[in-house]
Amino acid sequence: MKATATANANIALAKYWGQRDIALTLPANSSISMTLDGLSTKTTVEFSGGLKQDSLKIDGHAASREEIARTSGFLDIVRKMHGTQIFARVESENNFPKSAGLASSASGFAALALAATRALGMELDAIELSKLARRGSGSASRSVFGGFVEWKKGSREDGSDCYATPIAPKEHWPELKMIVAVLTKKEKAVSSEKGMQLTMSTSPLYNAWLGSADSDLEAAREAILEKDFNGLGKTAEMNCLKMHSTMLTTEPHLIYWEPETIGLMKGIMGLREDGVECYFTIDAGPQVKVLCLEKDAKRIVKYLSFLPGVKETRVCGTGEGARIAKQGLF
Ligand code: PMV
């Protein structure tokens, strides 16, 4: 009745923003991501007949009421699949700051989906696991797999064709790196889920976002398969700015950036003018991730460390998918 799983975060290069079904977490557009080797979440789940409710600890602290409610809601889906009503003790540890735009919900729900189903003796295949992880957080559907991953929006109302699949394994492009620059460890004020609902209902640019999502997806997939670094970088950076344009024009405005975020964006553009190949991408938070090739990573890290507000940098390569861990957290 107990299992532990680890999953890595993923960063989208063609992003997901908006849902066609909120209750089932079905996206309005498909997305492509890179699973990162440096950022992971480990989660232990134990179901036990003696418990009166679910409990949750994250990074050694009792979780907030909202976090417990979200986890319990997810565990209800697992309990329903299994046909049980017993509660669980859950402990989770991230090796990076959570809820600050570093995809902790992706690694978190992918690890929880695997640990919770195994704890109940269920052996889901990767596609079923991806569908389940999606119910916790859309991007978690992609963290089930390693390497480069595509999450198809699907068209069925019940979400049965909405899951992620790998497009290239982690060994495909070892020279490709993503430098994660942490600017603040504060948690974000508006969750991605809430943010995308506001954007869909109020941004005048949202339809334009949807209008170019498919061509960005094709371009990103092709650039990954051909290992076309500049093609991928240009597509990813532009795609990120298109997504943020819809956020900026949401009512009330969703400005996930801090002043230092813009400093880094300009810094990366400046480096590029100096001949260093690098591109930025940013999610629903202030952190900046820089796509580059291994040969330039050291130089870029050094440059970033001189920019105001950069607290930490991590150079990540492509990582593996969700897996069972031997050592539990309790
Ligand atoms: O899965 P969520 O609810 O954390 O949403 C993820 C949204 C973005 O990170 C901004 C984009 C993406 O595709 O990961």
Q: Would you say the CB of residue 105 lies under 6 angstroms from ligand 1?
A: yes
- Paired with 172 in beta bridges are none
> pLDDT value at position 59?
93
Instruction: CATH number of the domain at 57, please.
Output: 3.30.230.10
Q: Whose CA is nearest to atom 10 of ligand 1?
A: 283
Model confidence at 103: pLDDT above 90: no
Predicted confidence (pLDDT) at residue 99 exceeds the cutoff of 60: no
Q: Whose CA is nearest to atom 5 of ligand 1?
A: 192
Are 163 and 182 within one domain? Answer: no
pLDDT band at 256 (very low <50, low <70, confident <90, very high): very high
Query: In the structure, what pLDDT confidence band is assigned to residue 104 with cuts at 50, 70 and 90?
Result: confident
Q: Is 139 in the pocket of ligand 1 (CB under 6 A)?
A: yes
Question: 101 CB under 6 A from ligand 1?
Answer: no
Residues 185-242 have pLDDT tens digits of 777 789 999 999 999 999 999 999 999 999 999 999 999 999 999 999 999 999 999 9
Domain shared by 40 and 132, yes or no: yes
Q: Is residue 329 part of a domain?
A: no
Percentage, residues of the chain above pLDDT 70: 98
- Please, which pLDDT band fits residue 48 given cuts at 50, 70 and 90? very high
Out of 171, 206, 223, a domain closes at: 171
Q: Kindly state whether residues 239 and 127 are assigned to the same domain.
A: no
Which one, of 8, 319, 19, 311, lies nearest residue 162 by Cα? 19
Domain end call among 171, 202, 226: 171
Does any domain span residue 327?
Answer: no
Report whether pLDDT(152) > 90.
Answer: yes
- Token representation of residue 96: 């990076």
Going from the Cα of 108 to the center of ligand 1, the distance in angstroms, rounded, reads: 13
Q: Give the residue, out of 8, 107, 139, 180, with the most ligand 1 atoms within 8 A of its beta carbon, to mutate for a pocket test.
A: 139
Asked which of 118, 137, 171 is the last residue of a domain, the reply is 171
Res 102: pLDDT: 72
Domain hosting 81: range is 2-171
CB of 131 within 6 A of ligand 1: the answer is no
Question: Ligand 1, atom 6: nearest CA belongs to which residue?
Answer: 139
Would you say residue 75 lies in a domain? yes
